[in-house]
Amino acid sequence: MCGKGLAADLMFSESCKVYNLHNWRTIPQIKNLSAEDIESVETAARVFPFKVNAYVSEHLIDWANGAEDPLFRMLFPHRDMLCEDDFAALKELIRRGSDSEIANKVLEIRRRLNPNPADQLSNVPLFRGKTLTGIQHKYRETVLIFPTEGQSCFAWCTFCFRWPQFCRTDVMRFSGSSGEDVCAYLQEHKEVSDVLLSGGDPLTMAPERLSRYLQALLSPGLEHVRNIRVGSKALSWYPQLILQESFVPVLRAFEGISAAGRSITFAANLCHPRELQNADFQNALRRVQRSGAVVRAQGPLLRGVNDSAEALAELWREEVRWGIVPYYLFAARDTGARTAFQLPLLRAWEIYRSAYASVSGLCRSARGPVMSCTPGKVQILGPGSFNGSKALSLIFLQCRRPELVGRPFFAEYDERALWWDQLRPLTEADREFFC
């Protein structure tokens, strides 16, 4: 028994090894990259967060594909995350070795990358004279909580829309708010039925601490909070964590939530079928499922990663095969590395529709493509016509204004539009949806 425990701990510590800009050249497989690829990573990593661990490096990336591998693109910064002018200017400053000029240029670039997408700062509530920076309350029935200890990740995704959380920027970081403040806020907002622990990744918290956080949501006066969600990438980026005995308190908390008659959802961010095709992932998934948590999957459609109907269909089939509910397919956000990952909305819809048509009904719970934008979550329903005019049909799945949810509306047909702010109402009747 002791031998098995020691072996498990050793596996855990080896997989836990972290690589960043300062030591990433010690990854053995880097020899598969060209000098140009290495320069690409080291230039882009000055602007964007960069952290991978030994598990993803050794088990998820197909190094035979080099920098073109989809999982490599999801994890390692690369040159098309920056516009050509910024990449060239930053590369020259690095060559000259001017630290102060590099720092100033990096900050300038970051400020231009829309570090506050969808006007997230407006979601932060003022409560009893205090700004609760650890809470976002955008939709009437849903509150997001950002525990301070959970504002890191096991590896940083290149496409992450919360990239400023992990950079030194002058943008407010979403974290903090004491447990007492969170509970008091929820007690006064009886309209809230859903609480989502977000980040970063809440599973980077000490398991005992995360367990107490979850148990607090069952406190007297919070009976209206019926649905608790934990958003995490741990299943695919670091499944060994979930397989450790130290994770048991979190699983017990999941069980306690179910026993109390509430629902517990593990919201897994999954983008590529390879993330699921690993024994560690599958064993960790079973452990979460046995705790009573429902696992739902969501993730963005990313150019160069999963932008084909075949890749999406395989992803959904794998999710359903392992008992995961496909939930959202997001359009890549208008922030950070958008130049590398965004697709025209109509192209995103074409990929989604083709994948949707090729799978069984169990896979068709995935809703998409969805823009999580300033007014709410907008699903692109596809092209059509209205009174003889070509149009783009849309619907709010969530909205700051609940009265607009579920009502189809139209935008002018635009094959080049990448995001909500590039769309225009088709008619006067559609204008209220764009206000």
Verdict on whether the full-model pTM lies above 0.85: yes
Mean pLDDT of the chain: 93
Answer yes or no: do 146 and 241 share one domain.
Answer: yes
Characterize the bridge pairing of strands 130-131 and 135-139. Answer: unpaired
Q: Are residues 106 and 131 in the same domain?
A: no
| Phi, psi dihedrals of residue 6, rounded to the nearest 5° | -65, -40
Element containing residue 13 per DSSP (H, E): helix 2-15
Total number of domains in the chain: 2
Q: What is the pLDDT of residues 30-45, one digit of tens each?
A: 999 999 999 999 999 9
Q: Over the stretch 83-128, which tens digit does the pLDDT of each residue have?
A: 999 999 999 999 998 899 999 999 999 999 998 888 888 999 999 9
Question: What is the mean predicted confidence (pLDDT) over 57-74?
Answer: 96
pLDDT per position as a tens digit, 358-373? 999 999 999 999 999 9
Tokens representing 345?
A: 């909305």
Q: Same domain, yes or no, for 147 and 284?
A: yes
Q: Looking at the structure, do residues 330 and 195 belong to the same domain, yes or no?
A: yes
| 129 and 204 within one domain | yes
Evaluate whether 54 touches 155 at the Cβ level (below 8 Å). Answer: no
Higher pLDDT, 245 or 435: 245
Least Cα distance to 409 among 399, 417, 27, 418 occurs for 399
Tens-place pLDDT, residues 13-24: 566 799 999 999
Structural domain contains residue 357: no
**pLDDT for residue 169:** 61
- Domain assignment of residue 422, yes or no: no
Residues 182 and 329 in one domain: yes
Determine the structural domain holding residue 26 and report its residue range: 2-111
- Are 283 and 171 found together in one domain? yes
Choosing from 341, 358, 386, the residue where a domain stops is 341
d(CA 230, CA 194): 11
Per-residue pLDDT for 160 more than 90? Answer: yes
Per residue in 134-153, pLDDT tens? 999 999 999 999 998 998 99
- Is residue 138 located within the same domain as residue 280? yes
CATH code, 206? 3.20.20.70
